[in-house]
């Protein structure tokens, strides 16, 4: 991560064929997240390009030149962190993704809160820090989320990252539902 100035830590993208658990999680989560994604895009006046199946969506990504798989395993040790960023790997983007904590906060590591930073329209930005329990997942936005104001709906850019690990090691699985260019 350091050589790209993304923070400190290690990450590895999975290659196909994925472990059964990764494939199963992506296939199970996509249809649950799809109605939310479509509702968000409708609020923002955008047409939702996502078909009913993850396989069809990934075929669309591949046809657009986005062929690199995006499931990722992240490892952080003492002093490591992840810079605020968005996971945008090409023109076709699914607006939601999931991070699953594989470590036990307070036992395996201290620090390492999952960070969300929302740039709110015509207002101060808002940050949220969350310790994800072991084995739990957190759904968050890939790029932006709809926010309502007196002027209607608009897209608020959101970045995510990880706070500094104070001790121990933290492992997470990241599931992005679009492939990369």
Question: pLDDT by residue (tens digit) across 26-50?
Answer: 999 999 999 999 999 999 999 999 9
CA distance 51 to 55: 9
Summarize pLDDT for 61-118 with one digit per residue, the tens. Answer: 999 999 999 999 999 999 999 999 998 889 999 999 999 999 999 999 999 999 999 9
Q: Provide mean pLDDT across the span 115-126.
A: 86
Question: Taking all residues of the chain, what is their mean pLDDT, rounded to a whole number?
Answer: 94
**CA distances (Å), 25 to each of 81, 95, 151, in order?**
25, 17, 38
The 10 Å CB-count burial string (b at 16+, else e) for 36-60 is ebbebbebbeeeeebeeebeebbeb
SS3 (DSSP) at 84:
strand
Of the listed ranges 1-10, 78-87, 132-141, 155-164, the one predicted with least confidence: 1-10
Q: Provide, rounded to the nearest whole percent, the portion of the chain with pLDDT above 70.
A: 98
DSSP state of 180: B
Round to whole Å and give the CA distance between 120 and 128: 13
């Amino acid at each position: 991560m350091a050589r790209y100035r993304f923070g400190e830590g290690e990450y590895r993208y999975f290659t196909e064929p994925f472990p059964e658990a990764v494939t199963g999680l992506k296939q199970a989560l996509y249809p649950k997240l799809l109605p939310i994604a479509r509702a968000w895009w409708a609020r923002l006046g955008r047409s939702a390009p996502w078909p009913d199946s993850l396989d069809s969506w990934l075929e669309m990504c591949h046809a657009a030149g986005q062929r690199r798989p995006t499931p990722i395993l992240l490892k952080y040790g003492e002093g490591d962190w992840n810079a605020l960023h968005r996971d945008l790997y090409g023109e076709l983007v699914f607006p939601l993704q999931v991070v699953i904590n594989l470590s036990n906060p307070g036992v395996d590591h201290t620090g390492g809160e999952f960070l969300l930073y929302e740039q709110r329209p015509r207002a101060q930005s808002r940050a949220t820090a969350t310790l994800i329990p072991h084995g739990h997942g957190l759904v968050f936005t890939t790029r932006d989320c709809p926010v309502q104001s007196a002027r209607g709906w608009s897209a608020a850019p959101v970045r995510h990252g990880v706070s500094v690990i104070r001790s121990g090691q933290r492992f997470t699985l990241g599931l992005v539902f679009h492939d990369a260019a």
